[in-house]
Amino acid sequence: MNATSLSAEVDRNFDFFQRTLAVHLAKHSGQYALIRHRKVVGYFDDPGAAARKGKEDFPDGIFSIQEVTDEPIDLGLYSNAAN
């Protein structure tokens, strides 16, 4: 996947997450959501744990990490920066 496609996927994941934020806040406030193809695949207590699980489960590097908070924070390509 090229950088443009990866960026578009991250943007789609962020849009999905923002539209469904209330659902995530109810039970996972303060955690980090691991997102792939507009679906949360897990919640973690720190972004490093989410990144490790993402790299383990998705070696293609196509995933996003978002903090579950009502403050708008876009981690963008955080999880892909180490690739």
Residue-wise pLDDT tens digits, 30-83: 999 999 999 999 999 999 999 999 999 999 888 999 999 987 555 555 444 333
Instruction: With CA atoms as reference, report the closest residue to 74 among 30, 22, 19, 15.
Output: 15
Give the residue, 1 or 74, on which the prediction is more confident: 1
Domain total for the chain?
1
pTM above 0.75, yes or no: yes
Q: Which residue range(s) make up the domain with 61?
A: 3-80
What's the confidence (pLDDT) of residue 72?
58
Give dist(CA 60, CA 25) in Å, integer: 28
Give dist(CA 59, CA 70) in Å, integer: 30
